[in-house]
């Protein structure tokens, strides 16, 4: 029988000792969880914006030959058309998605609002590949748009903001592109984007490749975008692409210059490694903080319980059993842990919320997104448990020792 209520009341009576333990646990919990929350927020932000342009894609620019081949000197331009894209898709099973891309600068108008900006001619697979996701109620270019050369367009969110009044519904409305009417079929959901070629997507307008080619009387893509089925297929896919293009254009298959690749996986690997490094560093700092906090708690607990030896002697003298004494200290440690842990998590939550409220208006955040700290309750609970166990063990042994000696002995402690 451990007198539970007596112990609880004792907590309020022996304020300083309990306050110290609670404080130590609260401090440890708050500092570790807050720090890891900030790190996690940073990590998620970078991971998310790193994927803003699309995940695991490759951008292919046509180049020119750098080796004489089959009677032709070097320096022959290689131009890619829809036929090449079709051939690549058919010849290379590793390709998951592929799209040619035209790009030009055009004026756009809606009633009295004008802007001039980038207009891209792209295929349906381009949208998902490049992480251009439309707001609900809209859609990206589809195969029927392609086949019938419809005058439809998808607008970047900044384009919408310029051409339409705030709150106005853009989808279904008509805008003029280069003097021709286009129906808006989708609006890009705002996103963060760390890398671009040509410009950020919030500034872009996309129309079907076929419509673009009819308007501009061109067939030659500025670039092609492709994505392998799996990241590990990337290198094989690139090699096969060069071979197929070389064969179709009569170039040396060993010629590296006929197309240039921007393999975003390479950059993403670097980003992921940096983020992994960040996590490792934070983990180490967190671990060290945990050790420091643990030592602090162990110290507080050890000293306070040792100082309570005389009180333990008094309790023993009036008839407390050893297990009742131990029970008291275990209960005390558990309650201190629970309260300290709750306070620590609360403080951490408060800090994290406050950091989330700090205004951050730098241009940088348009591309990366605001890092919002993310509190992990798993981490918090683990920290609280670890600190609690440390406190418990540190208090248990002096309490055990004091409860095992004859009361006369414990009473002699000054």
Q: Which residues bind another protein (CB under 8 A)?
A: 1, 3, 5-6, 10, 13-14, 310-311, 313-324, 404, 406-409, 411
Q: Smaller CB distance to another protein: residue 284 or 317?
A: 317
Nearest distance from residue 24's CB to another protein, in Å?
20
User: Whose CA is closest to 322, among 222, 405, 379, 395?
Assistant: 405
User: Whose CA is closest to 155, among 182, 180, 178, 129?
Assistant: 182
Distance CA 253, CA 284 (A): 49
Q: Smaller CB distance to another protein: residue 382 or 411?
A: 411
Q: Smaller CB distance to another protein: residue 381 or 411?
A: 411
Q: Smaller CB distance to another protein: residue 67 or 314?
A: 314
Q: Which two tokens stand for residue 177?
A: 């592109």
Nearest distance from residue 311's CB to another protein, in Å?
6
Q: Answer yes or no: are the C-beta atoms of 261 and 58 closer than 8 Å.
A: yes
Nearest distance from residue 341's CB to another protein, in Å?
24
β-pair partners for 99: 225
The helix (run of H) or strand (run of E) holding residue 115 is strand 113-122
Task: Count Cβ atoms below 10 Å from residue 317 Cβ, excluding itself.
Answer: 13
β-pair partners for 134: 188
Q: Smaller CB distance to another protein: residue 6 or 147?
A: 6
Q: Smaller CB distance to another protein: residue 73 or 319?
A: 319
If you count them, how many residues does the chain have?
Answer: 414
Q: Answer yes or no: are the C-beta atoms of 42 and 282 closer than 8 Å.
A: no
106: number of CA atoms within 13 Å, CB side? 22
Q: Smaller CB distance to another protein: residue 32 or 320?
A: 320
Q: Smaller CB distance to another protein: residue 157 or 306?
A: 306
The helix (run of H) or strand (run of E) holding residue 96 is strand 95-110
Q: Smaller CB distance to another protein: residue 303 or 381?
A: 303
Task: Count Cβ atoms below 10 Å from residue 128 Cβ, excluding itself.
Answer: 15
Q: Which two tokens stand for residue 398?
A: 């002096």
β-pair partners for 98: 226
Distance of alpha carbon 199 from the chain centroid:
22
Distance CA 113, CA 70 (A): 54
Pairing assessment for the beta strands 95-110 and 58-62 based on DSSP bridges? unpaired
User: Which phi and psi angles does 406 have, rounded to 5°?
Assistant: -65, 145
Q: Which two tokens stand for residue 126?
A: 């381009």
Nearest distance from residue 376's CB to another protein, in Å?
38
Nearest distance from residue 397's CB to another protein, in Å?
18
Nearest distance from residue 308's CB to another protein, in Å?
10
């Amino acid at each position: 029988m451990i007198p539970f209520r007596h112990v609880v009341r004792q907590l309020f009576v022996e304020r300083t000792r309990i306050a110290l333990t609670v404080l130590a646990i609260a401090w440890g919990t708050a500092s570790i969880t807050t720090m890891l929350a900030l790190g996690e927020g940073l990590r998620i932000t970078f991971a998310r914006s790193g994927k803003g342009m699309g995940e695991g894609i490759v951008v292919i620019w046509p180049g020119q030959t750098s080796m004489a081949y089959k009677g032709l000197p070097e320096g022959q331009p290689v131009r890619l058309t829809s036929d090449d894209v079709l051939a690549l898709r058919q010849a290379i099973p590793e390709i998951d998605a592929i799209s040619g891309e035209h790009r030009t600068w055009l004026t756009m108008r809606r009633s009295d609002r004008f802007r001039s900006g980038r207009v891209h001619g792209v295929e349906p697979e381009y949208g998902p590949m490049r992480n251009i996701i439309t707001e609900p109620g809209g859609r990206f270019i589809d195969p029927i748009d392609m086949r019938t050369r419809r005058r439809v367009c998808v607008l970047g969110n900044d384009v919408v903001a310029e051409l339409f009044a705030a709150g106005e519904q853009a989808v279904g409305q008509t805008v003029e592109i280069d003097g021709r009417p286009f129906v808006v079929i989708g609006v890009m959901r705002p996103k963060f984007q760390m890398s671009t070629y040509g410009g950020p997507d919030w500034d872009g307008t996309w129309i079907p490749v076929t419509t673009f080619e009819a308007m501009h009387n061109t067939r030659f893509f500025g670039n092609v975008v492709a994505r392998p089925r799996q990241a590990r297929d990337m290198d094989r896919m690139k090699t096969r692409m060069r071979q197929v293009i070389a064969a179709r254009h009569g170039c040396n298959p060993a010629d590296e210059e006929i197309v240039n690749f921007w393999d975003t996986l390479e950059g993403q690997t670097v980003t992921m490694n940096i983020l992994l490094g960040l996590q490792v560093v934070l983990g180490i700092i967190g671990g060290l903080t945990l050790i420091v906090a643990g030592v602090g708690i162990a110290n507080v607990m050890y000293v306070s319980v040792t100082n309570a030896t005389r009180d333990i002697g008094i309790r023993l003298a009036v008839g407390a059993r050893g297990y009742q004494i131990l029970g008291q200290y275990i209960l005390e440690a558990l309650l201190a842990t629970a309260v300290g842990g709750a306070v620590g998590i609360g403080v951490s939550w408060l800090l994290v919320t406050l950091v989330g409220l700090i205004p951050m208006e730098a241009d940088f955040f348009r591309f990366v997104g605001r890092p919002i700290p993310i509190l992990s309750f798993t981490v918090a609970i683990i920290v609280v448990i670890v600190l609690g166990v440390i406190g418990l063990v540190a208090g248990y042994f002096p309490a055990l020792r004091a409860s095992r000696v004859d009361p006369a002995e414990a009473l002699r402690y000054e």
